[in-house]
Structure 1
Amino acid sequence: MQVKHDAAWIKRLSSLAKLYFTPTFLGAEHIDASRPAMYVGNHSIYGVFDSPLVIDYLYNEHKVAVVSIADHSHFYIPLWREIFKKFGAIDGIREYVREVMRQGYSILVFPGGGREVLKREGEQYQLIWKERYGFLKLAQEFGYDIVPFAALGGDEIFEIGFDARHIVENKYFQKILKVPALNKLLRKGDVIPSLPKNPFPKRVPFYFQFQPRQVIPEIQNQQDLVLFREQIQQQIYHALDNLKEIRAADLNQHKS
């Protein structure tokens, strides 16, 4: 499998986002291009603004050719999938991921996937990882460290105008989900998006913080896997709280 990384393309598409969201990156000391790792973070609503900034920062600032694991749906649309590929993204099929890890690429993964992107009212900055543990199994298989990171700002650029719960929790929609083929297609309703009040994003400063590398311990059973994943989640939540404090201090400084 050949991975595409178009540095000029990545820089060009992220440049407007940089001007608009003025991102701040912290924790650069935990990024090491000489040692492939799995970068694991929270996904923002719609996921199209902060992800390119992370990829651009890792690739153009730290020479980390990170491969982004994307939802299958992105690769059904011809032009859209080409854009994703230029950012080094691949379809999130396990054997595809194995192949790029065999080639020594670092991996960017959002375990919340499409459901965490399609947030509903009150789910800002929540990690909706469900029963996803495969990324940790792959990291253990290839001896990759985990680098947790937090992204602040992306869940505040849109105000939800129509909550997807109104559809998903509707009794008629629930009847539709009882049909196995439709339930699979609609992913139990997870693919139903909430809609923003205004399609134009608010100008909110973005903050990113990379956390210390975590060596995956010897995982013997499912309980070990659950506990280690919870540890990663708590690191991300802690980093989000820290970034909120940093942002508040920055805002106060600008006011004074």
Structure 2
Amino acid sequence: MQLGHDAKWIKRFTALSKLYFTPTFLGAEHIDASKPAMYVGNHSIYGVFDSPIIVDYLFNEHKVAVVSIADHSHFYVPLWREIFKKFGAIDGVREYVREVMRQGYSILVFPGGGREVSKHEGEQYQLIWKERYGFLKLAQEFQYDIVPFAALGGDELFEIGLDAKTITDNKYFKKLLKIPKLDQLLRHGEVIPSLPKNVIPKRLPFYFQFLARQSIAHIQTQEQLIEYREQLQYTIYNGIETLKQQRHLDHPERF
């Protein structure tokens, strides 16, 4: 599989975002470019502001050859698809992921996927992973460590004007979902985004924290896998709370 990483393009593309959101990165000691890993964290609403900054930081600042696993929908639109490819993103098909792991790339994964970027009111900073374990099984298969990370700021950029639940709970929308192909395309309504009050995001500082590497070589059973995933979520939630405390120290007048 040919990947489209373009380091200069990534840096140029994220330059304005970095100026606007002034990101702070913590936990650089847990990033090791010499050993591929799976970087796992929380996804923000809409997912288009903080994830490019993470890719830029790992790829350009730490020389981590990272491949971002993107939702299938990003690859339906030609121009949008090319932008994602330049960031080294690939469609989240399991065999595609296997191929880049065979090549030794690190993986950036947001297990919440399309549902986590389509947040409803009150779901800020919630991990909506459902019953997904495939990313952990791939990490086991290729003996990748897990590097958890927490991201703060992205879920506060917009105030929700029209909650997606208003649409998905509508009786006429539910009738539309009775059309099998439409129901499949909209994933039972899960990828309907909430609409913001304003199109321009608030100017808030972004914070990212990379946490200690975790080996999952010891996991042998499904029960252990379930327990580990719960612990991983707990680690990320703790990371988010730590970042909130740090943000308050840095900007006591605002937070």
* Deviations 1:141-173 (CA, angstroms, capped at 9, x unpaired): 000000000000000011100000011112232
* Deviations 1:72-129 (CA, angstroms, capped at 9, x unpaired): 1111111111110000000100000000000000000000001100111000000000
What is aligned with 1:85?
85
Structure 1 runs, 4 residues or longer, greater than 6 Å off: none
What is aligned with 1:36?
36
**What SS does the corresponding residue of 2:251 show, helix, strand or coil?**
helix
Stretches of structure 2 lacking an aligned partner (at least 5 in a row): none
Task: Give the whole-Å Cα distance in 2 for the aligned partners of 1:127 and 1:102.
Answer: 28
Does residue 205 of structure 2 align to residue 192 of structure 1? Answer: no
* Deviations 1:181-232 (CA, angstroms, capped at 9, x unpaired): 3321210111211000000000000000000001004333322111111111
Contact 2:148 2:236 in 1 (8 A): yes
What is aligned with 1:148?
148
Task: Give the whole-Å Cα distance in 2 for the aligned partners of 1:213 and 1:219.
Answer: 15
What is aligned with 1:170?
170
Task: Give the whole-Å Cα distance in 2 for the aligned partners of 1:5 and 1:177.
Answer: 38
What TM-score, normalized to structure 2? 0.97
Contact 2:143 2:217 in 1 (8 A): no
**What SS does the corresponding residue of 1:231 show, helix, strand or coil?**
helix
Contact 2:152 2:206 in 1 (8 A): yes
What is aligned with 2:210?
210
Which amino acid in the other structure matches residue 243 of structure 1? L
What is aligned with 2:226?
226
Does residue 11 of structure 2 align to residue 11 of structure 1? Answer: yes
**Any residues of structure 2 matched to 1:39-188 within 5 Å, and which?**
39-188=39-188
Stretches of structure 1 lacking an aligned partner (at least 5 in a row): none
Task: Give the whole-Å Cα distance in 1 for the aligned partners of 2:170 and 2:223.
Answer: 35
Which amino acid in the other structure matches residue 4 of structure 2? K
What is aligned with 1:235?
235
Task: Give the whole-Å Cα distance in 2 for the aligned partners of 1:136 and 1:90.
Answer: 18
Task: Give the whole-Å Cα distance in 2 for the aligned partners of 1:228 and 1:174.
Answer: 36
Q: CA deviation at 1:244?
A: 0.2
Task: Give the whole-Å Cα distance in 2 for the aligned partners of 1:127 and 1:250.
Answer: 25
Task: Give the whole-Å Cα distance in 1 for the aligned partners of 2:76 and 2:178.
Answer: 25
* Deviations 1:34-75 (CA, angstroms, capped at 9, x unpaired): 000000010001111100100000011100010000001111
Contact 2:3 2:88 in 1 (8 A): yes
Task: Give the whole-Å Cα distance in 1 for the aligned partners of 2:30 and 2:63.
Answer: 14
Task: Give the whole-Å Cα distance in 2 for the aligned partners of 1:188 and 1:219.
Answer: 33
Task: Give the whole-Å Cα distance in 2 for the aligned partners of 1:173 and 1:45.
Answer: 22
Task: Give the whole-Å Cα distance in 2 for the aligned partners of 1:124 and 1:232.
Answer: 18
**What SS does the corresponding residue of 1:69 show, helix, strand or coil?**
strand
Which amino acid in the other structure matches residue 105 of structure 1? Y
Task: Give the whole-Å Cα distance in 1 for the aligned partners of 2:222 and 2:177.
Answer: 29
